[in-house]
């Protein structure tokens, strides 16, 4: 039966001028900030082209009559043949979304859900009856990388997969500038601290790139009305909310710091959440803290980045791979091959 849209999550109004007060005079103008964030989001798309199976995605969709448009091709002329264009450019979902991917059934990649309650309605309704899996990427976490990762998972499982594309705001810039992907736990700590600071002292900037986050239920905003993170990052909050509101989701698949988002979300689940969850991680090993959760974790023996950020946790499998899941690269971590070989998470 379709779920009713939770009332509180529809309130996505920007904080009123009265709540911002005189601090607004000290804020950077949004007209400057937004183009900068879009440019950086484009750089994240470039990273995801390296770390995710975008070549396989593009080729598979081409065979099925679709072309993929990214930031690099945003201004390119239209194709002369009648192919459907899937826009996964960095500018498409700057404020975050949830995208449902099915490698076996048209339309293959559904239009993004830009509000969390819209995804809840879909996932809990008749169209979402077969949706059991949630995929969370790391590194750039762009729409292109998220869909490519979800495509690999969907092809391996033979069923649809929901991919989280976190919004990108000023709080995401600080940890990326100070350390890139290194130190996932530190990355989340810096991101949370920066978002809290912005929410308190520059609320109109704190909401940029956080439309999906602001529609996620269970989050108590700052006194200014700006969003703050409850579970370590926006992605962790998204995972937590989906698990609490979509009981049909029973499998979580994460790569890189996406695995850490899963760990943070699981720690605060309510007791009413149905048992039977399974977690698959690639390129980062998390603590297996919940006895009722089935874990299958993969860490490459030549994945220096993953080893650095696994905090000494031991995976179930150590394939001879590095951190990338792009199968066009030698010694990459082939998601479909690994999931098929171990029948993991089924």
1 in any annotated domain:
no
- Going by pLDDT thresholds of 50, 70 and 90, the confidence category of residue 284 is very high
What domain range is 42 assigned to? 22-342
Residues 218 and 318: their CA atoms lie apart, in Å, by: 37
pLDDT at 225: 62
Number of domains in the chain: 1
DSSP for 263-279? HHHHHT--TTS-S--EE
10 in any annotated domain:
no
Higher model confidence: residue 185 or residue 297? 297
Torsion sign across C-alpha atoms 188, 43, 332, 146: positive
Contacts of 126 (CB under 8 A, 6+ apart): 2
Residues 243 and 168: their CA atoms lie apart, in Å, by: 22
pLDDT at 136: 93
Measured CA to CA in angstroms, residue 145 lies from 20, 136, 149, 166, 292 at distances of 36, 10, 6, 12, 30
106 in any annotated domain:
yes
13 in any annotated domain:
no
6 in any annotated domain:
no
Give percent of the chain with pLDDT exceeding 90.
35
Check: pTM over 0.85? Answer yes or no: no
> How many angstroms from the chain centroid is the CA of residue 91?
16
**Selection from 287, 288, 283, 346 nearest residue 319 by Cα:** 283
**Selection from 146, 142, 140 nearest residue 162 by Cα:** 146
- Give the phi and the psi of residue 335 in degrees, each rounded to 5: -60, -50
84 in any annotated domain:
yes
Higher model confidence: residue 149 or residue 71? 149
Higher model confidence: residue 47 or residue 337? 337
pLDDT at 19: 41
**Per the structure block, which two tokens stand in for 99?**
């995208």
pLDDT at 199: 57
Residues 184 and 170: their CA atoms lie apart, in Å, by: 17
12 in any annotated domain:
no
**DSSP code at position 260:** H
- Going by pLDDT thresholds of 50, 70 and 90, the confidence category of residue 78 is very low
238 in any annotated domain:
yes
Average pLDDT, the chain: 76
> How many angstroms from the chain centroid is the CA of residue 184?
15
**Per the structure block, which two tokens stand in for 125?**
């309704």
Which of the residue ranges 192-206, 239-253, 283-297, 313-327 would you say has the lowest mean pLDDT?
Answer: 192-206
């Amino acid at each position: 039966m379709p779920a009713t849209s939770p009332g509180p999550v529809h309130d996505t109004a920007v904080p009123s001028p009265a709540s911002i007060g005189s601090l607004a005079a000290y804020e950077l103008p949004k007209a400057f900030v937004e183009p900068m964030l879009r440019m950086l989001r484009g750089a994240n798309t470039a990273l995801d082209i390296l770390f995710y199976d975008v070549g396989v995605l593009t080729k598979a969709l081409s065979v099925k009559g679709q072309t993929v448009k990214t930031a690099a091709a945003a201004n390119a002329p239209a194709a002369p043949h009648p192919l459907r264009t899937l826009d996964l450019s960095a500018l498409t979902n700057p404020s975050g979304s949830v995208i449902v991917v099915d490698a076996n059934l048209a339309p293959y990649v559904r239009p993004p859900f830009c509000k969390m309650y819209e995804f809840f309605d879909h996932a809990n309704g008749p169209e979402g009856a077969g949706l059991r899996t949630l995929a969370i990427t790391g590194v750039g976490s762009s729409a292109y990388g998220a869909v490519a990762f979800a495509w690999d998972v969907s092809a391996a499982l033979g069923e649809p997969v929901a991919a989280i594309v976190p919004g990108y705001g000023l709080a995401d810039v600080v940890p990326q500038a100070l350390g890139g992907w290194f130190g996932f736990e530190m990355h989340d700590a810096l991101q949370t601290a920066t978002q809290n600071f912005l929410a308190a002292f520059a609320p109109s900037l704190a909401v940029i790139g956080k439309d999906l986050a602001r529609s996620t239920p269970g989050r108590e905003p700052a006194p200014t009305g700006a969003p703050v993170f409850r579970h370590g990052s926006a992605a962790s909050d998204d995972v937590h909310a989906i698990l609490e509101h979509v009981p049909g989701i029973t499998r979580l698949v994460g790569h890189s710091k996406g695995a850490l988002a899963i760990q943070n979300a699981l720690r605060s689940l309510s007791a009413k959440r149905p048992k039977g969850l399974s977690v698959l991680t690639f390129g980062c090993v998390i603590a297996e803290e919940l006895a009722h959760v089935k874990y299958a974790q993969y860490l490459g023996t030549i994945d220096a980045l993953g080893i650095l950020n696994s905090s000494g946790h031991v995976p179930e499998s150590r394939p001879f791979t590095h951190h990338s899941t792009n199968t066009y690269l030698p010694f990459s971590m082939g998601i479909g091959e690994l999931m098929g070989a171990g029948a993991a998470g089924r």
